[in-house]
């Protein structure tokens, strides 16, 4: 085999990177507990584990972003101490983060320039940027401003930026969490190619099928400790999940007897000009969502999902009150607070900075959306006990792992923060829940818990609108699926009829009728 696994390495040769007893402590909390990991060249190495297992912490230490409390990192056999990412980059370690670090108002090229340590001129750099992006099939226009780009394109910037350093070792922290299946496939081609060029890749993901397909080695963390290193191709998704969780993952089950009741969220011919110059215009969107029902919205990111969320939540108002009807009340002109008082709840896709204030405590973030209607405020005064109770309940119901009772939102791992945000809204027992990407970056066990909670909420009579790029997720929980393309929403298909092919066509912008008509003509 040309595919050297660690066992296939000639003895005596040392790994590219090795950590020995790497430990990171936050107060009394061990985020990484004495972790040994070996990374070989020409290897795609998966790092698996539940939310909060310590994956991001480990790679941040390897990349010099945080200092380990104890332990050693060896690079090509030599012990190294990294005082910062630029030193890591200097040695040939590159990283693509779980949360992007891009400046929205700068162009692609400017963002890349800011992240590079080199001294080449801006012009040379731009030329190299275009060349690298072409070589690896990651098309990017250096002159576009970042805020105009889709999530997938933004990630491309990060990847290209990392590749421009010509790294020997590339770390990707949940790169596919935010990608469409097609975008993910493109990424895998790039990764295979990097591997063939002799580079090593450390790949964090919660998608076990992907890992089995792509990775040569997998290291599994649980509770900050290394559990095992194995060959994922010899494991099943279930056995990998078992190693991560330490027990079996529950299947998501729809309770019997769920039945659609009265319309609770109705959108009537909603058209809305974009707030930003290059945003997507919403055009004639109509749908009706009954209690007890889950409607899924699929589509490639950047086709108006964000704009639709803003229009439904009331972050953007419509001049015509009748365009959005919540619980029978025309609400298009009502603020987000008034809509919450009508019984609506919202979960945006961006958790840090949109769904939560990163530097505020969880209890304060509970208050952020709970102040309108959850008995957390009496005569203008905050009931701190009530906000803490919400934190405790969300923690318990959704198994939010954190270092202390009420930490700042930013200190939670990505998936745990997501569990908190979803929990915060579901615990309010909303009549209507509008949620974007409910399980982005959430581990398989927790994703099952969240999906189950959405199903249970619908069973209890709520209307649930789920926007997701994960078609499997929609197939699992939605009753009907509609597709968003260029600001328009297709007519919903019953989930049973919504085959991947049909959804794929809709996501690509062709309408089903014309395609079928074309087939008929061709036949």
Partner 1 sequence: MQLVLEKRAERSNTIAMVSPLIAIGLTIVTMVILFAILGKNPLLALHAYFIAPLTDGYSLQEIAVKATPLVMIAIGLSLCYLANAWNIGAEGQFLVGAVAGSWIAVKTQGTDAGAWVLPAMFVLAAAGGALYALIPAICKVKFGASEILTSLMLVYVADLFLDYLVRGPWRDPHGFNFPTTAEFDPVATVPLLIEGGRLHLGSIIALVVVAAAAILLGRTIKGFEIRVVGAAPRAARFGGFNADQLIILTFAVSGALAGLAGIIEVAGPVGHLQPGISPGYGFTAIIVAFLGRLNPLGILIAGLFLALTFIGGEQAQIAMKIPLDVTKVFQGILLFYVLACDSLILYRFKLVFPNRQVARGTA
* Options 407, 452, 461, 495; binder of partner 1; rule CB under 8 A: 407
SS3 3: coil
Selected from 19, 49, 53, 56, the binder of Mg ion by CB under 5 A is: 56
Pairing type for strands 78-80 and 344-347 reads: unpaired
Which tokens go with 66?
């945080």
Taking contact as CB under 8 A, which single stretch among the options 22-30, 144-152, 222-230, 293-301 is the one that binds partner 1?
22-30
186 binds, among Mg ion, ligand ATP, partner 1, none (CB under 5 to 8 A by kind): none
51 is in the binding site of which of Mg ion, partner 1, ligand ATP, none (Cβ under 5 to 8 A by kind)? ligand ATP
Alpha helical stretches, state H, 232-347: 237-245, 305-313, 336-341
Q: Quick one: 56 or 107, whose CB is closer to ligand ATP?
A: 56
**Binding of residue 130 to partner 1 (CB under 8 A):** no
- Residue 81 found at the interface with partner 1 (CB under 8 A): yes
Strand segments, DSSP code E, in 27-121 are: 29-39, 44-49, 70-75, 78-80, 93-96
Of these partners, ligand ATP, Mg ion, partner 1, none, which one is at the site of residue 296 (CB under 5 to 8 Å by kind)?
Answer: none
Q: Is 233 helix (H, G, I), strand (E, B) or coil?
A: helix
Question: Which entry of Mg ion, partner 1, ligand ATP, none binds 81, CB below 5 to 8 A by partner kind?
Answer: partner 1
The smaller minimum CB distance to partner 1, of residues 8 and 79, is found at 79
User: In whole angstroms, what is the distance from residue 303 CA to residue 177 CA?
Assistant: 18
User: Is residue 359 at the binding interface for partner 1, with CB under 8 A as the rule?
Assistant: yes
- With vertex at residue 328, the alpha carbon angle to CA 322 and CA 332, rounded to the nearest 5 degrees, is 30
Ramachandran sector of residue 487 (left: φ over 0; alpha: ψ -120 to 50; beta: rest) = left
Residue 49 contact, options partner 1, ligand ATP, Mg ion, none, Cβ 5-8 Å cut-off depending on partner type: ligand ATP
Residue 521 to residues 73, 492, 505, 515, 516, Cα–Cα distance (Å)? 64, 26, 18, 10, 9
Rule CB under 6 A: which residues touch ligand ATP? 26, 29, 31, 49, 51-57, 98, 401-403, 411-416, 441, 443
Shortest distance, CB of residue 81 to partner 1, whole angstroms? Answer: 5
Quick one: which of 348, 324, 351 has its CA closest to 338? Answer: 324
What whole-number distance in Å separates Cα of residue 245 and Cα of residue 186?
A: 30
72 binds partner 1 (CB under 8 A): yes
Q: How many residues bind partner 1 (CB under 8 A)?
A: 50
**How far does Cα 275 stand from its chain's mean position?**
24
Q: Would you tell me which residues interact with partner 1 (CB under 8 A)?
A: 20-23, 26, 34, 36, 66-68, 70-72, 79-81, 83-84, 313-315, 335-337, 340, 346, 348, 353-360, 364-365, 367-369, 371-372, 377, 380-382, 407-408, 410-411
């Amino acid at each position: 085999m040309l595919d050297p696994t660690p066992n296939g390495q000639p003895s005596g040769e040392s790994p590219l990177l090795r950590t020995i007893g790497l430990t990171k402590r936050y107060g009394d909390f061990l985020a990484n507990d004495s972790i040994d990991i070996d990374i070989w060249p020409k290897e795609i190495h998966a790092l698996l584990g539940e939310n909060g297992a310590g994956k991001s912490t480990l790679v941040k230490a390897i990349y010099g972003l945080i200092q380990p409390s104890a332990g050693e990192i060896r690079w090509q056999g030599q012990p190294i101490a990294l005082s910062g990412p630029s030193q890591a980059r200097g040695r040939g370690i590159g990283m693509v983060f779980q949360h992007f670090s891009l400046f929205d108002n700068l162009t692609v090229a400017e963002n890349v320039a800011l992240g590079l340590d080199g001294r080449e001129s801006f012009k040379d750099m731009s030329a190299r940027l275009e060349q690298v992006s072409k070589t690896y099939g990651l098309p990017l226009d250096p002159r576009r401003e970042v805020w105009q780009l889709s999530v997938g394109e933004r990630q491309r910037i990060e990847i290209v930026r990392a590749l421009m350093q010509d790294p020997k070792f590339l770390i990707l922290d949940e790169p596919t969490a935010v990608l469409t299946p097609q975008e993910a496939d493109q990424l895998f081609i790039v990764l295979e190619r990097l591997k063939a060029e002799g580079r090593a890749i450390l790949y964090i993901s919660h998608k076990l099928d992907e890992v089995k397909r792509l990775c040569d080695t997998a290291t599994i963390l649980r509770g900050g400790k290394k559990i095992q290193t194995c060959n994922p191709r010899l494991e099943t998704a279930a056995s990998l999940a078992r190693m991560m969780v330490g027990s079996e993952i529950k299947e998501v089950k729809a309770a019997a007897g769920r039945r659609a009741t009265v319309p609770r969220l109705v959108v009537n011919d909603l058209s809305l000009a974009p707030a930003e110059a290059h945003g997507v215009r919403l055009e004639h969107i109509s749908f009706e969502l009954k209690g007890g029902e889950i409607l899924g919205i699929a589509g490639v990111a950047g086709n108006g999902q964000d704009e639709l969320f803003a229009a439904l939540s009331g972050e953007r108002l419509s001049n015509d009150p009748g365009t959005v009807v919540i619980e029978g009340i025309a609400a298009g002109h009502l603020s987000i607070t008034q809509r919450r008082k009508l019984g609506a709840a919202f979960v945006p896709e961006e958790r840090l900075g949109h769904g939560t204030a990163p530097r505020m405590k969880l209890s304060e973030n509970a208050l952020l959306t709970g102040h309108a209607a959850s008995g957390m405020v009496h005569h203008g005064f905050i009931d701190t006990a009530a906000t803490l109770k919400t934190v405790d309940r969300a923690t318990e119901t959704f198994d939010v792992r954190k270092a202390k009772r009420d930490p700042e939102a930013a200190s939670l791992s990505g998936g745990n923060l997501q569990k908190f945000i979803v929990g915060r809204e579901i615990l309010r027992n909303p009549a209507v829940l509008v949620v974007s990407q409910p399980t982005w970056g959430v581990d398989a066990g927790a994703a099952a818990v969240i999906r189950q909670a959405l199903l249970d909420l619908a069973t209890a009579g709520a209307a649930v609108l789920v926007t997701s790029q994960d078609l499997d997720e929609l197939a699992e929980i939605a009753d009907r699926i509609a597709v968003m393309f260029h600001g328009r929403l297709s007519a919903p298909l019953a989930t049973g009829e919504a085959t991947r092919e049909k959804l794929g066509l809709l996501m690509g912008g062709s309408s089903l009728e014309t395609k079928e008509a074309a087939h008929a003509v061709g036949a």
